[in-house]
Amino acid sequence: MKKLRTLAALVAVISLGAGQLLRQEVRVDERALLAELAPDAMFFEKAGSPPYYRSERGVAAFNTHDVRPEIRGYAGPIKVLVVLGSDGRIKGLKILSHRETKNYVQYMETPAYISRFIGKSVYDRFEIDKDIDGISRATVSVQALARSVRDASRAAAHDVYGLQTVSDGPAGAVSLSWLWYSLLVLFGSTGYVLTRRDRRYRIVRDISLVGSIAIIGLYLASPFSVLHLFNLALGRPSSSLLWYVLVGSTLVSVLVAGRFYCGWLCPFGALSELISRVPLRKWSIPAELDDRWRRLKYAALIVVTPAVLVSGRVDYGNYEVYITLFAVHGNAFAWTLTALMALANLRVPRFWCRYLCPVAAVTGLLARQEPAYVGGHDCPMGNKSHPDTTECIRCNRCRQPAAPAITRP
């Protein structure tokens, strides 16, 4: 495992360095898009600070990121090209780029959704689920889109046309998603401490598993993902407090308690474990073959890491079935894989966690050794006796208390 950790670290560092040297930002031809959005207008070259495209026909255009660069979505800025009339109404709109996870925001990019902004005035409130439709499971992203369009349009209306507007604050209600996640982390952490001391508290873990499915999976739709780490490595922080709580708490938990997230908070891991409890005969996999297959998750992570860090395309690393499941979006292949990974647990407990999960690979590589976990016949991961800590999800079923210190007379 030490060699694997070294290899993974070298691949990450070299890939990140190569990306800094080789990666070039793809430039969008804004003028070509302007010809599509406002075919009757002739725009002058973009100029000013912030820069605008002005015309002689009473319309102006701008990139929202040029005007309000501080507004960010869940994974970075959402850049939008807007055409604004002298009456303060939006005449055209086109999303130029974003780094949001496509599974969650696929509807945000459709003409049907974009059309909701056409004709809106800079005097409107742009409130999600009120005068702007929301998108289930993409609240942070759509709020960032609405804020970018609203605030940049108001600034342009003032700078170009001299229109006066009033600030309304955030384009949507303040999200308390981070609080729900924090409460579940606190509950799971408490259960972890209790079950380390006394196995009679194991019911607390079952409650945490059900809670992770209900809160992190279904309600928040925000399971921890390797995409969070890729964005962190690429220097792309989020504007979402949930993002910081999710990433921060998971990384801290790995350093303190190994794969605690996998065993207590991961909604797909929880679903997998609950499915595996269906009383069907499980397949017996030879220990040597099982060990080889468990290496697949590390191999997959090492393969996708250069693809992501060199290109800067985080979506190249999106092969996590829990994103498909909890975003409720994916192509036929993604849904087929998700279904297979769920049903496989009927015969091989926590199949995805054992063999393919990139989060399992990352947390396994970072987990410190803990010899108190001796394995057992009821291990939810199917671990052999005295397993490597990288495969232990800290359910505390097999944890042996530390031997009392021997005092010499």
| Between 158 and 236, residue with greater pLDDT | 158
* 233 and 288 assigned to the same domain: yes
Asked whether the predicted pLDDT for residue 174 surpasses 70, the reply is: no
Q: Does residue 354 fall inside a structural domain?
A: yes
* 130 and 245 assigned to the same domain: no
Interval 128-149: pLDDT, tens: 767 776 666 667 888 889 999 9
Asked whether the predicted pLDDT for residue 210 surpasses 90, the reply is: yes
Q: Does residue 28 fall inside a structural domain?
A: no
Q: Does residue 25 fall inside a structural domain?
A: no
CA distance 82 to 139: 21
Q: Does residue 14 fall inside a structural domain?
A: no
Domain end marker among 103, 126, 161: 161
Residue 59 forms beta bridges with which residues? 85
Q: Does residue 183 fall inside a structural domain?
A: yes
* 57 and 118 assigned to the same domain: yes
Domain end marker among 105, 128, 161: 161
* 148 and 190 assigned to the same domain: no
Work out the average pLDDT over 275-286: 94
Domain end marker among 128, 161, 194: 161
* 142 and 226 assigned to the same domain: no
Mean pLDDT of the chain: 89
Q: Does residue 23 fall inside a structural domain?
A: no
* 346 and 238 assigned to the same domain: yes
Work out the average pLDDT over 12-23: 91
* 190 and 114 assigned to the same domain: no
* 119 and 43 assigned to the same domain: yes
Interval 307-338: pLDDT, tens: 999 998 888 999 999 999 998 888 899 999 99
Say what percent of the chain tops pLDDT 90. 64
* 212 and 234 assigned to the same domain: yes
Asked whether the predicted pLDDT for residue 82 surpasses 80, the reply is: yes
Q: Does residue 403 fall inside a structural domain?
A: no
Range(s) of the domain holding residue 268: 175-391
Interval 358-398: pLDDT, tens: 999 999 999 988 888 888 778 999 998 888 889 999 999 98
The answer to which of 161-175, 178-192, 214-228, 238-252 has the lowest mean pLDDT is 161-175
pLDDT for 66 equals 95
* 204 and 342 assigned to the same domain: yes
Q: Does residue 2 fall inside a structural domain?
A: no
pLDDT for 171 equals 57
Q: How confident is the model at residue 61 (pLDDT cuts 50, 70, 90)?
A: very high
* 203 and 345 assigned to the same domain: yes
Asked whether the predicted pLDDT for residue 173 surpasses 70, the reply is: no
* 193 and 99 assigned to the same domain: no
Say what percent of the chain tops pLDDT 70. 94
Q: How many domains does the chain have?
A: 2
